[in-house]
Structure 1
Amino acid sequence: MTAAPAGRPRTARWLLRLHRPALIVWACLVVALAALLLALRGPLTDAAAEGWRQYNACQGRGRCTYDQDAILRYKDFAGYANLALNALPVLVAAWAGAALIGRELESGTARLAWTQSTSPARWLTLRLALPAAAVTVGTGLLCRLHRLAWAAGDGRIDTAKRWYDLLTFNAGGPTVAALALAGLAAGTLAALLLRRTLPALIAGAVATLGIAGAAALLMPRLWPAVTLTSALDEDYPNVDGLVVDQGLVSATGARLPIPDCDTGAGCSAAYDRAVGYFTTYHPVSHYWPLQLTTTALLLAVTGLLAAGSFLALRRLTGPLRTAGAAAGTPSTDTLAGAAA
């Protein structure tokens, strides 16, 4: 009656000891980035906004002074924050492939654990549970702070990135948190398939970059876009948003691609068929629909990668059972098969 309650605290303490170095590094990274984002939301944004106010007031007045250093400082630190948050999923994938799973498989300590009181499936679950929670909480906090920092400068700083800038879009919502979980699963799967630390590190990072690239390509098409048209004697409709497509419109309403005007004949023929221009784009009101649909897609990919990890683990271990899960101990043949 008392064994189960006592086992849970022991398991929690064991997980904390197991992941303590990585948790300390992760906590320091999150705190450092949080401090940077809070500075961006407050004094850095205020100083840059004042610098831009001074600069705009100078227009038409000839020589005057403005705080250029504050403007450049904001631009640099905002760029660093964007790059850091977008790099987190790759770092998570590399750590999962190398230190979390790959190193234990390469050294043989994982197989030793499987012969004791932990089944392979439970071993993998325990190793992923706490990192997944830490990644979710940490990236979720940073995404919220990034969104607040960006909103503080929106409309006040002329060089601030727009919401549809890819790095800004990813860092300001749950997309990067979902991508970090996908990186954790990708690194785990790479380690289980390769069973070597360095190859798993590289494969996990490359796979995460591939997932991020695919998500960026699919993201504009995950939610219906808005189309605006203009007459042929005008230019393309002026929009403030994420442009998906542009081209010409024929008299029947058909959309024509932008013509190749390197050859005069082809260009003239294309414009002879057209009566106007069109622009398909996502306005700012589509920000959260795009964020949520992209996050859902990435979480689905994470689920597939996690399922693949358990399948790869089962293939690696075969019918291996622990002493606590079945009567007796694993057979010599089973352990030999796992080692092979």
Structure 2
Amino acid sequence: MTATVPTAPTAPAPHLARWLIRLHQPALLVGTAFVVVLGAALLWLWGPLTHGSVTAWRQYEACATTGPCHYNQYAILLHKDVYQYATFALLAVPFLVAAWAGASLVGRELEQGTVRLAWTQGVSPRRWLAAKLAVPAVPVTLGTGLLVLLHHLMWSAGDGRIGTAKDWYSGETFYANGTVPVVLALAGLAAGALLGLLTGRSLAALGGALGLTGLLWLGTQLAMPHLWPTVTRVSSLHDGPTGSGLGVERGLLTASGARIGDHGCDDGGTPKCRALFDRLDAVGYYHDYHPESHYWPLQITTSAVLLGVTALLTVAAFRVLRRRTGGPAAVPASAAAVEEAAV
């Protein structure tokens, strides 16, 4: 009598995307809840909070002409606080994606060895990683893109109408209103997968992915102002530096046309500054900056660079997977290979 050994199920192979969604359903639910809650906060800002703050500012401005009066200070402060928290929450999305991708999406499966089970059920390592990157990329892109759109609409509703509203070039607002957070979230996904493969440990991958995403975020802030030609505004010593926008560099112009930065004298009326100007033979100020018309060129150019970085991180992840498994070249030959993995 011959004993029959049951074969392992092969469900993950033909339905890999569905299998991944079931496997990471808790993360999908948490991510959906995050988008819903933050989206609701942005809609609240866009509607009632903006209306209340605009009304309160009108009351406050009327006080300057009518004398002592009352205005709704609470509405102004509430809009300001919720705006700040919502903006920081949106900018945290790439870090949350990177941490999850490193710790749970890849690192935990390698640490626990469950990935070997998938590889023995008709799923090649290359296809496994392609699906791991392609399937989450869809909700990450859609969710982050929706939040960015709501943030931009909300900011536009209060621009020029609320005294405490942030300028378009102001710190966090500049990035939260554009395409950079969406692409940076995809870069975080690739970074998490790469660190998960490199370390094979969920906690180490989490920390490494956060660190690498932080470096990408810092590099983005340093590089973005230089990825598009600036506008130069020249002004007299009496007028001081002029030009409103995303500043890149400003300083003194000498009679010979030389530039001197970091001089510390924007107010030429003080004796100390006048003496400095005489010593340097300064004749005016220069200011290199980006006006508001440069906003989308800067965002799109930076996003294109980040997409290139994301592609490099993805290629690196497939190279590391190849070394881990000893298989053939693991980079998909075309986008069709990634789409096939998600079917």
Using the size of structure 1 for normalisation, the TM-score is 0.87
The answer for the alignment partner of 2:326 in structure 1 is: 318
Q: Does 1:293 align with 2:301?
A: yes
Q: Match for 2:42 among 15, 24, 37?
A: 37
1:110-149 matches, within 5 Å, as 110-149=115-154
Distance in 1, matches of 2:204 and 2:76, equals 42
Secondary structure in 2 matching 1:59: helix
1:57-68 matches, within 5 Å, as 57-68=62-73
Q: Match for 1:242 among 242, 246, 262?
A: 246
1:13-162 matches, within 5 Å, as 13-162=18-167
Shift of 1:60: 4.4
1:214-229 matches, within 5 Å, as 214-229=219-234
8 Å contact kept, 1:259–1:270: no
Q: Does 1:174 align with 2:175?
A: no
Secondary structure in 2 matching 1:46: helix
Secondary structure in 1 matching 2:298: helix
The answer for the alignment partner of 2:286 in structure 1 is: 278
Which deviations, in whole Å up to 9, do the C-alpha atoms of 1:169-203 show, x marking residues without a partner?
21111110000001101111111101111011011
Give unmatched runs, 5+ long, in structure 2: 1-10, 266-271, 330-343
Q: Does 1:197 align with 2:191?
A: no
Secondary structure in 1 matching 2:24: helix
Pick closer, same or farther for the CA change 1:306–1:158 going to 2, 3 Å. Answer: same
* Paired amino acid for 1:124: L
Distance in 2, matches of 1:103 and 1:203, equals 14
Shift of 1:117: 0.9
Pick closer, same or farther for the CA change 1:57–1:269 going to 2, 3 Å. Answer: closer
Pick closer, same or farther for the CA change 1:139–1:266 going to 2, 3 Å. Answer: same
Which deviations, in whole Å up to 9, do the C-alpha atoms of 1:211-250 show, x marking residues without a partner?
001101111111111110111232111x221111110012
Distance in 2, matches of 1:198 and 1:270, equals 60
Pick closer, same or farther for the CA change 1:242–1:114 going to 2, 3 Å. Answer: same
Q: Match for 2:15 among 10, 13, 34?
A: 10
User: RMSD over aligned Cα, in angstroms?
Assistant: 2.2
Distance in 2, matches of 1:53 and 1:295, equals 38
Q: Does 1:258 align with 2:262?
A: yes
Shift of 1:266: 12
Shift of 1:16: 2.4
8 Å contact kept, 2:251–2:260: yes
Distance in 1, matches of 2:70 and 2:274, equals 51
Shift of 1:271: 5.0
Give unmatched runs, 5+ long, in structure 1: 1-5, 322-340
Aligned residues: 314
Q: Does 1:211 align with 2:216?
A: yes
8 Å contact kept, 1:230–1:277: yes
Distance in 1, matches of 2:256 and 2:161, equals 43
Q: Does 1:165 align with 2:170?
A: yes
8 Å contact kept, 1:90–1:208: yes
Shift of 1:274: 1.3
Pick closer, same or farther for the CA change 1:320–1:234 going to 2, 3 Å. Answer: closer
* Paired amino acid for 1:231: S
Which deviations, in whole Å up to 9, do the C-alpha atoms of 1:253-293 show, x marking residues without a partner?
222113267xx699626753211001111111111001101
Shift of 1:320: 7.5
Pick closer, same or farther for the CA change 1:270–1:194 going to 2, 3 Å. Answer: farther
Shift of 1:147: 0.5
Shift of 1:9: 7.1
Distance in 2, matches of 1:275 and 1:87, equals 45
Distance in 2, matches of 1:254 and 1:180, equals 42
Which deviations, in whole Å up to 9, do the C-alpha atoms of 1:111-135 show, x marking residues without a partner?
2322331111111111221111110
Task: Indicate the percent of aligned positions where both proteins have the same amino acid.
Answer: 54
Secondary structure in 1 matching 2:15: helix
The answer for the alignment partner of 2:235 in structure 1 is: 230
Distance in 1, matches of 2:328 and 2:255, equals 69
Secondary structure in 1 matching 2:169: coil
Pick closer, same or farther for the CA change 1:168–1:318 going to 2, 3 Å. Answer: same
